[in-house]
Amino acid sequence: MEVTLLGSSIKIKSKQATFLVDPARAKGKLQADAAINLYPEITIPDIEGLRIILQGPGEYEVGGVKITGIGTSEKIQYYFFMDNIRLLLLKASAFKGKDVRDVDIVIIDADEQLDQTVFAGTNASSIIFYGLNAQNILMSLEKNVQPVTKYTMTKDKLPSEKEVVLLA
């Protein structure tokens, strides 16, 4: 599984499928199997190979990747099962700390400030931040993290200690 920063957007790629998150905010050529809109008020642009747009609660499957959307369209949480990794994708404004199911990786679009509950509320091995407030959140949490543009992980290489990643 791979997460790549594309401007203010990200691409999540598994062995089976590629997902663009908020593709209207992406830079570069847009190609994916599915698009996910965390901001429903923004229109999805043309994307080569696009088969489905995930916009709200429900059960989805794209290329063998199972996705469950929970919440309202404004505060949606997407749970993925891909490459034997349990992944959660959401905006910081939709983060509910203790309500987060068991996941291996959490990807948070930093649309607003978070406190320490982000770490106490999940047993994820990796927490990935991206977006406008990502660096501010990490500074307020006293986390000194070197930014990267791509994060790659396999189930057998998940860290035993919780790691924090900044996509910037």
**pLDDT score, position 5:** 97
Asked whether 46 and 59 are in contact (CB, 8 A), the reply is no
CATH of the domain at 117: 3.60.15.10
pLDDT in tens, the chain (168 residues): 999 999 999 999 999 999 999 999 998 889 999 999 998 888 899 999 999 999 889 999 999 999 999 998 888 999 999 999 999 999 999 887 656 768 999 999 999 988 777 777 688 899 999 999 999 888 887 878 999 999 999 999 999 988 999 999
Tokens of 126: 């990796």
Number of domains in the chain: 1
Range of the domain at 10: 2-167
In the sheet with 163-167, reading across from the earlier edge strand, the strands are 58-62, 65-70, 77-82, 85-91, 105-109, 126-130, 163-167, 147-148
pLDDT score, position 98: 58
Query: Which pLDDT belongs to residue 4?
Result: 97
